[in-house]
Amino acid sequence: MISGKTRLLLSLLLPCWAATAWASEPAGAATSAQAVIAALRQPAPAHTAFAEARFLNMLDRPLVVSGQLSWLGGDRLQRRVEQPRAETAMIADGEVTQQRDGKPARHFSLKRAPQLQVLLDSFVAARLEQAFEIQREGDAAGAWTLTLVPRDAHVAKTVARIRIDGIGDQSRCMHMQEADGDLAVDLLGPLAEKMPAEPTRAELQALCAGSP
């Protein structure tokens, strides 16, 4: 199973930059990865509602949580879970802090996992191509898909690929396929409110492919 630290970092980072990744790119622009990366810069703070369903091989039903993702500038990122129970995770100054109501905060350094530092630097510094092979389908005026495959061998042992679906300047979904077969699907922005109580993969795929 993917490490909790890797899952935490990816879930913090990806929806935040994807939400405006195409906002400044004109329709009909070249489909190069450089064009996508050039559009990643956005002012902080940036907040995105999310609802996540995790399909684990060991469980019969998916785990569903919802809350808000926030990029606060620099390397400061926050994932606040509101349902089914409150939990906050924060990355700041090379340290990760996890806090649950009624329990002591947990802290650990990104230095303990060098591949996470590489991912953080890649997203924050817009050096995305150094961390992932990027494939893009569609165009900025309509439906589009970004597929990210980790370049780092250590990361690839846990994360097989990441797919982000969107329409126009709106990022709608993130699929994180793990190397062991587990899958996490995040519905982003207004779409998060449509997360079923007990979603199936087919239901989520239909939501991600639907019209705005």
Range of the domain at 117: 4-209
Instruction: Return mean pLDDT, the chain.
Output: 75
More confident residue, 140 or 22: 140
Q: Which of 57, 14, 51, 17 is nearest to 178 (CA)?
A: 57
Q: What is the pLDDT of residue 22?
A: 39
pTM: predicted TM-score of the whole model, two decimal places = 0.77
Q: What is the pLDDT of residue 69?
A: 82
Q: Output the 3-class SS for 90-143.
A: EEECCEEEEEECCCCCEEEEHHHCHHHHHHHHHHHCCCHHHHEEEEEEECCCCE
Query: Does residue 192 carry a pLDDT above 90?
Result: yes
Rounded Cα gap, residues 199 and 66, in angstroms? 13
Q: What is the pLDDT of residue 37?
A: 44
Q: How many domains does the chain have?
A: 1
Rank 4-8, 109-113, 129-133 by mean pLDDT and report only the highest. Answer: 129-133
Q: What is the pLDDT of residues 158-190, one digit of tens each?
A: 888 888 888 776 778 889 888 889 998 999 889
Q: What is the pLDDT of residues 30-62, one digit of tens each?
A: 344 444 444 444 556 678 899 999 999 999 999
| Secondary structure (3-state) at 34 | helix
Q: What is the pLDDT of residue 212?
A: 52
Here the CATH number for the domain that contains residue 141 is 2.50.20.10
Look at the chain and count its residues: 212
